[in-house]
Amino acid sequence: MARSPSPAGPAAVAGALVVLFLAAPVVALLAEAAGWRGLGAALADPAVRGAFFLTFLCATAATAVGALAGVPLGYLLARRDFHGKRWVEGLLELPVVIPHPVAGIAILLAFGRAAPLGRLLGGGVVGAPLGIVACMLFVSLPFLVSGAREGFALVDPRLEAIARTLGAGPAGAAFGVALPLAARPILSGAVLMWARAVSEFGSIAIVTYHPKVASILVYDRFTTSGLPGAVPPAALLVAVALAAFVALRGLARPVATRS
Amino acid sequence: MIRIEGLAARRGTFALRDVSLEVPAGAHLALVGPSGAGKTTLLDAIAGLLPAEGRIVVDGREVTCEPPERRRLGLVTQDALLFPHLTVGGNIGFALPRAGRGAAVEEAARLAGCAHLLARRPDGLSGGERQRVALARAVARRPAALLLDEPFGALDAPVRRELRAALAALARAGGTSVLHVTHDLEEALALADQLGVLEGGRLAQLGRPADIVRRPASPVVAALVGTENLLAGEITAEGATAPVPFPARLRTAGVELRGLATRQGPGYAALRATDVTLSREPLRSSALNRLPGTVRALAPEGPLVRVTIDAGVPLVALVTRESADTLGLVPGTSVYAHFKASAVHLL
């Protein structure tokens, strides 16, 4: 009996090519790092340790600030229609599409020493960890807001209505029903935001080259010492990103969000 | 007690207008109506989930402008809407004050017949179990009134009967008023002290179930309360038109029916199939209406047989199987349909 052609064969070939394309640079970098001094040697370098500590601290701070402001915004976008909603949604997508050095320049103009908002922040964000946090927040917040919006959109709004009839106020219904049910997509968005913040380079290079975060350090080492200096911290960054995305896969398991 | 005065609410392009009703403490009012009549909109407006105009009074306190959490109303929907991240106990105890929560949860669960499910998660429950939990959750706060939106609509008949009993027990135990939207007339008649019919966003009729079934106020109400014979025609008074209802005739397709009317002009004759008597010969009886006809179809319905007759106009009669056998009814049999003028409501 003749068999109908299966799409699985061509799909597998295409998939293998994509996996190969993505894996080749990662494997090459990790192999090169083991060939030079290894990830352990990179960690032994105080400058690398300092840059990574600063990176993780700023990324965590940006994610925390992003969660405080972005989760309520995600809730609003999922639940309410309001004037200017499309503009807000467009604005949230902007950091994903504009070149990040451009984002850095915009942040400099808005929060620099000469800008009113910069003076409000106590002398601006240039050359300060606050500048790093601002850059990270600007470029990575859309991931968290998007995760929160999608998470809340999956929760049946009638569950909150029932919670209200049971005596919960608007905040009680949101925290007691909507937030727990949207927790996984929000956490996924937070991990994605944190990882994106860790990897940010373009805007930080404009706003706060010093003190150096990991991505700036890698670039700096490449321009001053070439590959031998850049590969170990670069491989360490890749290892961190891999760990973050393995964790993300775990969070992305399906969960019932409707009754 | 719950009292609604001149309630109006909008949902999209649909408008609910001028609805007034009262459910005394411990009473049960069932609302029926065709799809899109505004039944769910009415419950949502009363519960505070939709902005509304008019007055909503719960246990003597006006709550029209209060948020849902301050209205003391429990809402149960057809799909139960249990919180999937909480256990049954967590659902029933949701938002209850910490002090006394355990006892309140156990008491409500016991009354609703779901005490054995307290540790379970909603996703493992059957439809009937979910509705028991939803009922327990709604009554655990001891609301002044329960708003039920077709709570048993998706359940099998035996489970429905069990839950009706559980609902009656819960309402009795708390002296709770019940406003109950249902499409099941049998359920409404079994549970309700009062019946309301919503039609196009308005309350078309409100009263004792038996009165509405006997004297539907409009063709839509007649159809909803199971009046099988609805004949359009011209209504003419036989004499004085006061007091109402007054004796009148309805002419349609060369047939004249005598009944009781509240107005003259184009209208309908509403006649329940159970009020139609069949015979093979003309009977001498007090029934003022006698129509000769031919049996067109017979359909058994449990102990009864639904007989469709062509009497110049289509007529439906419900007779016992024994009567159908005695009369030897088969398609083509010539019969006489008899019914009293008091059974014919000219609307």
Return the pLDDT at A134: 94
Q: Are strands B52-58 and B2-11 parallel, antiparallel or unpaired?
A: antiparallel
Quick check: A165 and B84 CB within 8 A? no
Q: Are A93 and A146 in contact (CB under 8 A)?
A: no
Quick check: A156 and B81 CB within 8 A? yes
pTM for the full model? 0.79
A57 touches chain B (CB under 8 A): no
Q: Are B185 and B227 in contact (CB under 8 A)?
A: no
Quick check: B123 and A180 CB within 8 A? no
Quick check: A164 and B94 CB within 8 A? no
Return the pLDDT at A45: 87
The mean per-residue pLDDT over the stretch B114-142 comes to 94
Nearest to A164 among B67, B77, B80 (CB): B67
Question: What distance in Å separates the CA atoms of residue A210 and residue A229, rounded to the nearest whole number?
Answer: 18
A252 — pLDDT class (breaks 50, 70, 90): low
The mean per-residue pLDDT over the stretch A71-78 comes to 96
pLDDT reading at A255 higher than 60: no
A177 touches chain B (CB under 8 A): yes
% of chain A at pLDDT higher than 70? 92
Number of other residues whose CB lies within 10 A of the CB of residue B230: 18
- Tell me the nearest-neighbour CA distance from B144 into chain A, angstroms: 12
Q: For chains A and B, what is the number of CB pairs under 8 angstroms?
A: 69
% of chain B at pLDDT higher than 70? 100
What is the DSSP secondary structure assignment for residue B144, as one 8-state letter?
A: S
User: What sign for the dihedral angle of Cα B328, B330, B336, B342?
Assistant: positive
The mean per-residue pLDDT over the stretch B187-209 comes to 90
B297-339 tens-digit pLDDT: 999 988 899 999 999 899 999 999 999 999 999 999 999 999 9
Please tell me the least confidently modeled range out of A105-114, A119-128, B134-143: A119-128
A37 — pLDDT class (breaks 50, 70, 90): low
Sheet of strand B2-11, all strands in order from the earlier edge strand to the far edge = B14-23, B2-11, B52-58, B61-62
Nearest to B141 among A161, A162, A166 (CB): A166
Number of other residues whose CB lies within 10 A of the CB of residue B236: 14
Helix A85-97 crosses helix A129-154 at what angle (to 10 degrees)?
Answer: 130
E-assigned strands of B182-263?
Answer: 194-199, 202-207, 229-237, 246-252, 255-261
* Residue reference for tokens 């719950």: B2
The mean per-residue pLDDT over the stretch A93-117 comes to 89
Quick check: B83 and A259 CB within 8 A? yes
In chain A, positions 127-166, which contact chain B (CB-CB < 8 Å)? Answer: 156, 158-159, 161-166
Q: Are B159 and B129 in contact (CB under 8 A)?
A: no
A167 touches chain B (CB under 8 A): yes
Q: Which residues of chain B lie closer than 8 angstroms to A165, CB-CB?
A: 47-49, 68-69, 71, 73-75, 138
Do you know the residue count of chain A? 259
Number of Cα atoms under 13 Å in the Cβ half of residue B225:
30
pLDDT reading at B7 higher than 90: yes
- Tell me the nearest-neighbour CA distance from B155 into chain A, angstroms: 16
Any idea where the domains of chain A sit in the sequence?
38-252
Question: What distance in Å separates the CA atoms of residue A255 and residue B84, rounded to the nearest whole number?
Answer: 10
Quick check: B81 and A158 CB within 8 A? yes
pLDDT reading at A36 higher than 60: no
User: What sign for the dihedral angle of Cα B200, B205, B210, B215?
Assistant: negative
Do you know the residue count of chain B? 347
Please tell me the least confidently modeled range out of A245-259, B86-100, B206-220: A245-259
Nearest to A169 among B69, B94, B122 (CB): B69
Q: Looking at the DSSP assignment, which residues form a beta bridge with residue B9? A: B16, B52
Return the pLDDT at B158: 82
Quick check: A166 and B47 CB within 8 A? no
Distances (CA, A) of B191 to B53, B124, B126, B236: 29, 29, 23, 38
B190 — pLDDT class (breaks 50, 70, 90): confident
Q: Which residues of chain B lie closer than 8 angstroms to A167, CB-CB?
A: 69, 95-96, 141
pLDDT reading at A250 higher than 80: no
Contacts of B101 (CB under 8 A, 6+ apart): B93
B51 — pLDDT class (breaks 50, 70, 90): very high
Q: Do you find a cis peptide bond into B266, omega within 30 degrees of 0?
A: no
Pull the structure tokens for residue A153: 């959109």
Please tell me the least confidently modeled range out of A60-69, B162-171, B195-204: B162-171
Nearest to A259 among B95, B122, B141 (CB): B122
Return the pLDDT at B287: 76
Q: Do you find a cis peptide bond into B243, omega within 30 degrees of 0?
A: yes
Interface list for chain B against chain A, based on CB atoms closer than 8 Å: 44, 47-49, 67-69, 71, 73-75, 77, 79-85, 94-96, 122-123, 137-138, 141
A198-234 tens-digit pLDDT: 999 999 999 999 999 999 999 999 999 898 889 888 9
Return the pLDDT at B249: 94
Return the pLDDT at A164: 96
Q: Please give the backbone phi and psi of residue A115, each rounded to the nearest 5 degrees, phi first.
A: -80, 145
Distances (CA, A) of A85 to A76, A77, B287: 9, 7, 69
Pull the structure tokens for residue B327: 């009369």
Nearest to A177 among B74, B79, B83 (CB): B83
Q: What is the CATH number of domain A38-252?
A: 1.10.3720.10
Return the pLDDT at A253: 59
Q: Do you find a cis peptide bond into B143, omega within 30 degrees of 0?
A: no
Q: Are A251 and A184 in contact (CB under 8 A)?
A: yes
For chain A, the average pLDDT equals: 88
Nearest to B75 among A165, A169, A180 (CB): A165
Pull the structure tokens for residue A40: 């352990």
B202 — pLDDT class (breaks 50, 70, 90): very high
CA dihedral A135, A136, A139, A143 (to 10 degrees): -160
Return the pLDDT at A118: 79
Quick check: A165 and B69 CB within 8 A? yes
H or E element that contains B268: strand B265-271
Nearest to B85 among A166, A169, A181 (CB): A181
pLDDT reading at B262 higher than 90: no
Quick check: A158 and B77 CB within 8 A? yes
Quick check: B83 and A159 CB within 8 A? yes
What is the DSSP secondary structure assignment for residue B293, as one 8-state letter?
A: E
Return the pLDDT at A3: 55
Quick check: B47 and A169 CB within 8 A? no
Quick check: A256 and B74 CB within 8 A? no
Interface test with A, best of B56, B73, B81, B141 (most A CBs within 10 A): B81
- Tell me the nearest-neighbour CA distance from A73 into chain B, angstroms: 22
Please tell me the least confidently modeled range out of A60-64, A114-118, B272-276: A114-118
Quick check: A259 and B141 CB within 8 A? no
Q: What is the chain A residue with the closest CA to B94?
A: A166
H or E element that contains A133: helix A129-154
Buried b (16+ CB within 10 A) or exposed e, B33-68: beeebbbbbbbbbbbbbbebebebebeeeebbeeeb
Return the pLDDT at A236: 86
Pull the structure tokens for residue A36: 């030079």
Quick check: B141 and A164 CB within 8 A? no
Return the pLDDT at B66: 95
A210 touches chain B (CB under 8 A): no
Interface test with B, best of A156, A158, A165 (most B CBs within 10 A): A165
For chain B, the average pLDDT equals: 91
